[in-house]
Structure 1
Amino acid sequence: MTKNPIYFLSDRLYFPPVGEANEEGLLAVGGDLSPERLLLAYQEGIFPWFNSDSLIMWWSPEPRMVLYPENIKISKSMRKVLSDNVFTVTVDTCFEKVLEYCASVRRNDQDGTWITKNMKDAYIEMHRRGIAKSYEVWQNEELIGGLYGIDLGTVFCGESMFSLKSNASKFAFIKLAQELKEKNYKLIDCQLYTEHLASLGAIEISRKEFIKLLKA
């Protein structure tokens, strides 16, 4: 049973304080996926996540899964992959392909995709504006993995990743963390806990601490 009521968004560019999210982290429903609203959401520690047959749902979970770039964990097997130059990585060379793969590649823990056509269109526009970025992993000139997210300048908000071959998405995530460490980014927002992210060094912090780092 939830304690807080759910806020219904209008055309007004506004979100309620994240502390008003319910126990599951749901803060609001409705609104739109305009670049202006999406950017405001990420700047406030909020992200959209919903099925194609539902209203737009906006979340700010407690706790929040994050990775401090300097704390990336690289296993012995992944160190070998990195040193052997098995894969190569590029940035922003085929954002739409990465988006399509993230939407279509099946995962063991989900039946369908939350990356609807409207979501794709919204993030493609964000990419055109230089806000959404992709990291692509290649092997023999074949795209085999990658990830995309929102770049806020000192925080990177990861959205989704995919792998067509073992370790490809992990390779993208490690390369992302290494680059962001060099650029003195504060953290990578991973949103929700997964064992995969935890194995790479991500941890849960309070929503209050996350917002503090986001706003600093």
Structure 2
Amino acid sequence: MIFRLDERILFPEPALAEEDGLLAVGGDLSTERLLLAYASGIFPWYSEGEPILWFSPHERFVLFPTELKISKSMRKVLRSSLFSVTTNQCFDDVVAACSTTPREGQDGTWITDDMKAAYSLLHKKGYAHSVEVWQQGELVGGLYGIKVGRVFCGESMFSRASNASKTALIWLCQTGNYELIDCQVYTEHLESMGARMISREEYMGILHKSIA
């Protein structure tokens, strides 16, 4: 059963999600609703022209920073001066760049104008963060997401130069600020770096502990 949300800031029990993880439809992208969603293991994912769709997968694709895999060739890149990394320097630019990069298995962008505005507001309020990768003064890669306790809920990443998005993710893992990186949706790229599936129960346990 897919639940329809109204103006009340609440969600149904995440375990009631459909097999594909779809839990609810509707509502809005207010700061209050988004923060409740992420703290409940729920995230929005929909395309332009669709109603807001809220997902809570039965299995979660995550990366534990302690399990990060860095290839020999990538270690060479990191030791070089090819890239420089910053954080929270141009959040909106990172989101805009990510919006031109479809998620695997989905045509077109899922980062709508409403999503951009909502996450920009989350950033201004200190909840959403970006990592930027630069090459000779040009923004060539990065990622953004929501911080929930010691869990980083990754929303999207982009790369305009080989290994730029990998550099952003490695930097994020090596800050020591996070116990878990929530990748949400499976990709071979992230699996090669150590990401794996865990159950919703394990994910929620880590999430709630990190918030507490």
Measured against the shorter chain, the TM-score band is over 0.9
Corresponding residue for 1:187? 180
Instruction: Give the secondary structure class of the aligned counterpart of 2:108.
Output: coil
Equivalents in 2 of 1:186, 1:194: separation in Å?
20
Equivalents in 2 of 1:109, 1:55: separation in Å?
19
Aligned-partner residue type, residue 207 of structure 2: L
Match of residue 155, structure 1, among 141, 144, 151: 151
Corresponding residue for 2:203? 210
TM-score norm. by structure 2 comes to 0.96
Instruction: Give the secondary structure class of the aligned counterpart of 2:99.
Output: helix
Instruction: Give the secondary structure class of the aligned counterpart of 1:104.
Output: coil
Change (3 A) 1:92 1:71: same
Equivalents in 2 of 1:156, 1:136: separation in Å?
16
Task: After TM superposition, give the deviation of residue 109 of structure 1 in Å.
Answer: 4.9
Corresponding residue for 2:46? 50
Instruction: Give the secondary structure class of the aligned counterpart of 2:76.
Output: helix
The alignment covers a number of residue pairs equal to 209
Corresponding residue for 2:63? 67
Does residue 1:172 correspond to 2:165, yes or no?
Answer: no
Mapping of residues 137-148 of structure 1, within 5 Å = 137-148=133-144
Mapping of residues 94-173 of structure 1, within 5 Å = 94-105=90-101, 109-173=105-169
Task: After TM superposition, give the deviation of residue 153 of structure 1 in Å.
Answer: 2.6
TM-score norm. by structure 1 comes to 0.94
Structure 1 segments (4+ residues) deviating >3 Å: 105-110
Corresponding residue for 1:81? 77
Aligned-partner residue type, residue 134 of structure 1: S
Mapping of residues 4-19 of structure 1, within 5 Å = 5-19=1-15
Structure 1, unaligned stretches of length 5 or more? Answer: none
Structure 2, unaligned stretches of length 5 or more? Answer: none
Contact 2:103 2:109 in 1 (8 A): no
Task: After TM superposition, give the deviation of residue 105 of structure 1 in Å.
Answer: 3.9
Contact 2:27 2:52 in 1 (8 A): yes
Deviations 1:56-88 (A, max 9, x none): 000001210011111111001100000112101
Change (3 A) 1:68 1:92: same
Equivalents in 1 of 2:124, 2:34: separation in Å?
14
